[in-house]
Amino acid sequence: MAYDNLSTDELRGLHARMIDEYADVKARNLSLNMARGKPAADQLDLSTPLLSVITSPEDCFAEDGTDCRNYGVLKGLPEARRLMAPMLDDDPDNVLIGGNASLILMYDVITWGWEFGVNGSAPWRTYDSVKWICPVPGYDRHFSITEHFGIEMIPVPLGTDGPDMDEVERIVASDERVKGIWCVPKYSNPSGITYSDETVRRLASMPCAASDFRIMWDNAYAVHHLYDDAVEQDQLLDIGVACREAGNPDRYVKFASTSKVTLPGAGIAGIATSPTNAEDLTSHLRVCCINGDKMNQLRHVKFLRDAEGIAAHMSKHAAILRPKFELVDRKLTEGLVDVGGCTWTKPRGGYFVMFNAPEGTAKRIVALAKEAGVILTGAGSTWPYGNDPHDSDIRIAPSLPPLEELEQALDVFVCCVKLAYLEKLLGA
Amino acid sequence: MAYDNLSTDELRGLHARMIDEYADVKARNLSLNMARGKPAADQLDLSTPLLSVITSPEDCFAEDGTDCRNYGVLKGLPEARRLMAPMLDDDPDNVLIGGNASLILMYDVITWGWEFGVNGSAPWRTYDSVKWICPVPGYDRHFSITEHFGIEMIPVPLGTDGPDMDEVERIVASDERVKGIWCVPKYSNPSGITYSDETVRRLASMPCAASDFRIMWDNAYAVHHLYDDAVEQDQLLDIGVACREAGNPDRYVKFASTSKVTLPGAGIAGIATSPTNAEDLTSHLRVCCINGDKMNQLRHVKFLRDAEGIAAHMSKHAAILRPKFELVDRKLTEGLVDVGGCTWTKPRGGYFVMFNAPEGTAKRIVALAKEAGVILTGAGSTWPYGNDPHDSDIRIAPSLPPLEELEQALDVFVCCVKLAYLEKLLGA
């Protein structure tokens, strides 16, 4: 029977039983981790051929004869730009290849806007305050970057179609200090939703008081479907096309990486943006570096080859990840049938499930789970400044543990949700 | 006979012959490059084993069991920090491993000082102007970074013992806006000199008006000797020890990379600095990145192993580079015997020879060489803002061309020096 319909005595009895159950769980001395979107070992194994596609000097030459072992080629190998283009929904000419992480590129783009402005605009640091739109739930590492610069972060609700566009349009319309928005537009981190075409078009066309407003389009999960059938895959409208059509060709910077395609932190990352933006970014990039790691670029080209090669490879990831996401949904559905006030997402791609616990219980759930040996992403981390006003959002990252460990971790999680909710209902 | 002792008629006759000789040189349609410090192909071949030290998942684990294929370990693998420690003259605990280039780390350190200050000091951007000491001749990419931030660069002569320390001490003593100095302290780029112990101690101990004054210690050629015998190798006093002894433990940041040990732009780079500085830098680093490329760190550890392994490997580089440096000296000595006013360095390590042409001829020499198919580093590039007031400094980078091509290139160079000097003497 639903908790909400139980009498106080019944709740007390249930609470006592849950305390025993929780004690049993703790006694298992588990050490499980559902905190970060890390691929599992068998996913990493899929990229084993990457390790040996280059073993001799003859393997080290690019299509145009460039010896990738030596200095040069600031923007990345032409074939690496071509490889990344479909992940960025763009033309290879608009692609710049960076280092081993798209996060660094995002940090750079904001640093340069902050310090030097954008295409000749006033440096953002010269304003009395700078503001940034942060759809919530969102990605904590995005928020860390804007927080680092003292940029005021404005949370806007993220629905199933993307951010609340009425709210976004209102905020950007009149305040030129609002300089950008963080977006994970496809299989969003953490809710797994994908922006609707209408959302993309409204972002591209909305009147902004700031002519240098920037959409930070972190398409981290562009090719990270859980299902092979195209009808079960989310489709995302290209923000670049939408911005050009709306007459705002420089409004966006797209980011992608192979971190969850090949090896996290040992892959390649790229940007796609307008030629004007690319020139502006390159003027800074050339001061701080001579080139990205072309050897690793070439490895990725030789291993993944092209869009078709990427899709085939991602299908193997999906075969490993899909059962984990399905297990999350099954265990939560079964375990929380009587517990009111819990919702969660069923994404068709990406790395996360967003769990909404009964208001005021998220921190307690995460603490209980930790005490029982299951590490979850910190409660609140999906909000700017770590401040979830409802204390409700918990990001579940099911990718890392093997299936049987994930099942154990979810049992613990369900137990902790129940216990925390009972504590709340009893005012304990 | 020395040009300076020739009559005008004799000079005219010589000039006519040099014009013919130059025409012959141009007719050869050469395409040679002595512009940048790029290793030659046979040097790159020395690192071929690096390409296949990791080919299977079992190879991917660090000493402590970390799977290097996944996210994490912001400061770098412990064994990678240990590997880089001797190149940085420091303890592994003080080493942070970055990405594929020390230049990026230098850019970061200056960006963070500029934007956030250093260990709580006022951000450098908050001063009406910021100044930086640039020993000349120096490295153009250093100067580009400080120029990028609008930092006023103050050239100070670099002698055979290091920068003119009387001048440096005078500049830093009274102006707190002088925030740092660029140093390539060993086998300096481009003159090949190594700072004397006294210079290092004076840098470490000099009274600075700015408590956040920083020595950017780019020890790019720490292990890049041309001779195997220790008595023919330059020794550099550790700036870290000197700074601690002088009571200025946070004054320095050391940089090194494997770019000219293994593969340029595909190696690993590191910083060594005081624990206080390391903590400050890490507070920024963790915002912009999750980790460096641990796979490449591990490759380097497996290939180079330790200080002894590095030394043995560098000895193979030296065997290739030494004849090139000796050829430069021989060709210049032979070719310029009659030409007054030319001097050049005979470094015992590093990648460059500094050539001082007769005043007012460097630009002309570089232009003549270019027209004859030999690319040299741009004249003036060894000075801040590319402005060599004597138009005399030319950086020779003999590493890239094979020996026979280098000989051709040097013949062209000698011809251009003669022609330019004759033009000058004749007021042509």
- Whether the per-residue pLDDT at B1 is higher than 80: the answer is no
Closest by CA to B252, choosing from B208, B188, B193, is B208
- Whether the per-residue pLDDT at B428 is higher than 80: the answer is no
Taking only the tens place, the pLDDT of each residue in B134-159 is 999 999 999 999 999 999 999 999 99
The pLDDT score that the predictor gives to residue B340 is 84
Question: What is the per-residue DSSP string for B364-402?
Answer: HHHHHHHHTTEEEPPTTTTSGGG--TTS-EEEE--SSS-
Q: Quickly count helices (H) and strands (E) in chain B.
A: 13, 13
Q: Is the peptide bond before A190 cis (omega within 30 degrees of 0)?
A: yes
Cβ distance B68 to A266 less than 8 Å, yes or no, reads: yes
CA–CA min distance A52, chain B (Å): 5
Q: What angle do CA B140, B141, B146 make, to 5 degrees?
A: 95
Question: Does the beta carbon of B59 lie under 8 angstroms from any beta carbon of chain A?
Answer: yes
Taking only the tens place, the pLDDT of each residue in A360-415 is 999 999 999 999 999 999 999 999 999 999 999 999 999 999 999 999 999 999 99
The pLDDT score that the predictor gives to residue B377 is 95
The pLDDT score that the predictor gives to residue A386 is 97
Average pLDDT, chain A: 97
- How many whole angstroms from its chain centre is CA B417? 25
Question: How many CB atoms are closer than 10 A to CB A308?
Answer: 10
> Nearest-CA residue of chain B relative to A145?
B287
Sheet holding B353-356, edge to edge: B343-344, B353-356, B393-396
Token pair belonging to A204: 């591209």
Question: Average pLDDT, stretch A213-223?
Answer: 98
Strand partners, A96: A271
Please state, in angstroms and rounded to a whole number, the distance separating the CA atoms of residues A89 and A295.
Answer: 24
From residue A396, how far is each of A143, A161, A257, A278 by CA, in Å?
18, 20, 22, 36
The sign of the torsion formed by the CA atoms of A296, A302, A305, A310 equals negative
Cβ distance A57 to B48 less than 8 Å, yes or no, reads: yes
Reported CATH class of domain B61-305: alpha beta
Strand partners, B253: B216, B273
List B residues 103-132 in contact with A (Cβ-Cβ < 8 A): 103-104, 107-108, 111, 114-115, 125
The pLDDT score that the predictor gives to residue A341 is 86
Token pair belonging to B184: 């390539």
Chain B interface mutation, best of A70, A147, A149, A151, highest count of B Cβ atoms under 10 Å: A70
Question: Average pLDDT, stretch B229-251?
Answer: 98
What's the whole-model pTM score?
Answer: 0.97
A-chain residues near B71 (CB < 8 A): 36, 38, 259, 264-265
Question: With contact defined as beta carbons under 8 Å apart, do B159 and B168 qualify?
Answer: no
Taking only the tens place, the pLDDT of each residue in A32-61 is 999 999 999 999 999 999 999 999 999 999
Cβ distance A265 to B38 less than 8 Å, yes or no, reads: no
B52, B104, B115 ranked by CB distance to A115: nearest: B115
B3-43+314-425 to CATH, choices 3.90.1150.10, 1.20.1250.20, 3.40.190.290, 1.10.1740.10 = 3.90.1150.10
- Characterise B367 by phi-psi region: left (phi > 0), alpha (psi -120 to 50), beta (else): alpha
Please state, in angstroms and rounded to a whole number, the distance separating the CA atoms of residues B373 and B409.
Answer: 9
Cβ distance B56 to A51 less than 8 Å, yes or no, reads: yes
Taking only the tens place, the pLDDT of each residue in A260-288 is 999 999 999 999 999 999 999 999 999 99
The pLDDT score that the predictor gives to residue B407 is 97
Q: Helix axis angle, B294-304 relative to B307-335, nearest 10°?
A: 80
Q: Binning pLDDT at 50, 70 and 90, where does residue A128 land?
A: very high
Question: With contact defined as beta carbons under 8 Å apart, do A60 and A53 qualify?
Answer: no
- Characterise A68 by phi-psi region: left (phi > 0), alpha (psi -120 to 50), beta (else): alpha
Reported CATH class of domain A3-43+311-425: alpha beta
Taking only the tens place, the pLDDT of each residue in B10-64 is 999 999 999 999 999 999 999 999 999 999 999 999 999 999 999 999 999 999 9
> Nearest-CA residue of chain B relative to A44?
B69
3-state helix, strand, coil in chain B (%, to 5): 45, 15, 40
Q: Is the peptide bond before A137 cis (omega within 30 degrees of 0)?
A: yes
Residue ranges of chain A assigned to CATH 3.90.1150.10: 3-43+311-425
The pLDDT score that the predictor gives to residue B341 is 86
Coil, strand or helix: which one is A179? strand
Q: Binning pLDDT at 50, 70 and 90, where does residue B114 land?
A: very high
Token pair belonging to A367: 């603490």
- Whether the per-residue pLDDT at A428 is higher than 90: the answer is no
Residues above pLDDT 90, as percent of chain B: 98
Residue ranges of chain A assigned to CATH 3.40.640.10: 61-305
B-chain residues near A284 (CB < 8 A): 148
A104, A115, A125 ranked by CB distance to B289: nearest: A104
Please state, in angstroms and rounded to a whole number, the distance separating the CA atoms of residues A139 and A397.
Answer: 13
- Whether the per-residue pLDDT at B278 is higher than 90: the answer is yes
> Hunting for tokens 């709580």 — which residue is that?
B120
The pLDDT score that the predictor gives to residue A61 is 98
Please state, in angstroms and rounded to a whole number, the distance separating the CA atoms of residues A180 and A351.
Answer: 25
Token pair belonging to A249: 């060709």
- Whether the per-residue pLDDT at A1 is higher than 80: the answer is no
From residue B194, how far is each of A178, B159, B188 by CA, in Å?
51, 9, 6
Strand partners, B132: B153, B180
Number of CB pairs, chain A paired with chain B, less than 8 A apart? 148
Please state, in angstroms and rounded to a whole number, the distance separating the CA atoms of residues A327 and A325.
Answer: 5
The pLDDT score that the predictor gives to residue B342 is 95
Question: Does the beta carbon of A146 lie under 8 angstroms from any beta carbon of chain B?
Answer: no
Cβ distance A70 to B45 less than 8 Å, yes or no, reads: no
The pLDDT score that the predictor gives to residue B327 is 98
Token pair belonging to B277: 């500085």
Average pLDDT, chain B: 97
- Characterise B86 by phi-psi region: left (phi > 0), alpha (psi -120 to 50), beta (else): alpha
The pLDDT score that the predictor gives to residue B350 is 98
The sign of the torsion formed by the CA atoms of B162, B164, B167, B173 equals positive
Cβ distance A294 to B266 less than 8 Å, yes or no, reads: yes
Coil, strand or helix: which one is B29? coil
Cβ distance A296 to B293 less than 8 Å, yes or no, reads: yes
Question: Average pLDDT, stretch B211-237?
Answer: 98
Question: Average pLDDT, stretch A238-251?
Answer: 98
B-chain residues near A295 (CB < 8 A): 263, 266
The pLDDT score that the predictor gives to residue A86 is 96
Residue ranges of chain B assigned to CATH 3.90.1150.10: 3-43+314-425
Please state, in angstroms and rounded to a whole number, the distance separating the CA atoms of residues A349 and A155.
Answer: 24
A69, A108, A263 ranked by CB distance to B266: nearest: A69
Please state, in angstroms and rounded to a whole number, the distance separating the CA atoms of residues B376 and B131.
Answer: 30
From residue A39, how far is each of A228, A325, B61, B71, B247 by CA, in Å?
19, 13, 16, 9, 47
Strand partners, B273: B253
Taking only the tens place, the pLDDT of each residue in A287-321 is 999 999 999 999 999 999 999 999 999 999 999 99
- How many whole angstroms from its chain centre is CA B352? 8
- Whether the per-residue pLDDT at A134 is higher than 90: the answer is yes
Cβ distance B38 to A291 less than 8 Å, yes or no, reads: no
Question: With contact defined as beta carbons under 8 Å apart, do A256 and A225 qualify?
Answer: no
